[in-house]
Amino acid sequence: MTPAVRTTAPLAPARTSSPRATSATPALVGHPSPVEIAFVREVSRVEHARRIGAAWLRNMCRMPAADVDSAEVVISELATNAVVHGHGSTVGLRLRHTDDHVRLEINDHCPSAVPRPKQAGADEESGRGLWLVDALVEELGGKWGFNADGTVAWCVFPCRMPVPSENRGHATQGQSPGLQAR
């Protein structure tokens, strides 16, 4: 796998008062930097793409675990389709955070008819991937599709930030903290 990944948006070194400090701790400024990788078109590489995407969503975008789990399956299904049905030597994964959305793209570099979800038979071992993508992206509140020449599968979904732990368990409006129901 050939990663071309910057892990954060512009970094600002933390100021330290000690002249003996050997390294500065970077501080995030703005949105996480996009992730763009290319991997060899082999089924064994799909797991790497899935794990990189999930780690970026979890650690850089701070998405809730349930949303990351759903997005991880979407990455896996779209990357698997690109590996199985594409003909190029590499597959690309691109993740970008824009405003309050995440855009995911899988590029197989292979023009083709635009795939559509199909209804697989009960005894078929494959054919449910795009149906699953459709269901999960809808669950995430997003949209998905392919570009006109079928080379890029994309999806866009909101980046819902988790509720900070200090806000959990607070009294509801009109209740005093000492009178919460137990």
Give residue 160's pLDDT: 73
In this structure, which amino acid lies at residue 35? Answer: V
**Distant-in-sequence contacts of 70-73, Cβ < 8 A, 24+ apart:** 70/136, 70/139, 70/140, 71/102, 71/104, 71/136, 71/140, 71/157, 73/132, 73/136
Is the distance from CB of 113 to CB of 119 less than 8 angstroms?
no
The alpha-helical segments, DSSP class H, found in the chain are 46-55, 65-85, 129-139
Give residue 27's pLDDT: 39
Give residue 65's pLDDT: 95
**Count, residues in the chain:** 182
Give residue 88's pLDDT: 86
DSSP code, position 25:
P
Give residue 163's pLDDT: 58
Domains of the chain: 29-162 (3.30.565.10)
Distance separating alpha carbons of residues 171 and 13, to the nearest angstrom = 39
CB-based burial of residue 110 (10 Å sphere; 0-12 exposed, 13-18 middle, 19+ buried)? Answer: middle
DSSP 139-153: HTT-EEEE-TTSSEE
Q: Model pTM greater than 0.75?
A: no
Give residue 8's pLDDT: 37
Residue 123: phi and psi, rounded to 5, are -95, 0
Q: What does the pLDDT profile of the chain (182 residues) look like in tens digits? A: 444 443 334 333 333 444 444 444 343 446 778 999 999 999 999 999 999 999 999 999 999 999 999 999 999 999 999 999 988 899 999 999 988 899 999 999 988 888 776 676 666 666 678 999 999 999 999 999 999 999 999 999 998 766 565 554 544 444 444 444 44
In this structure, which amino acid lies at residue 21? Answer: A
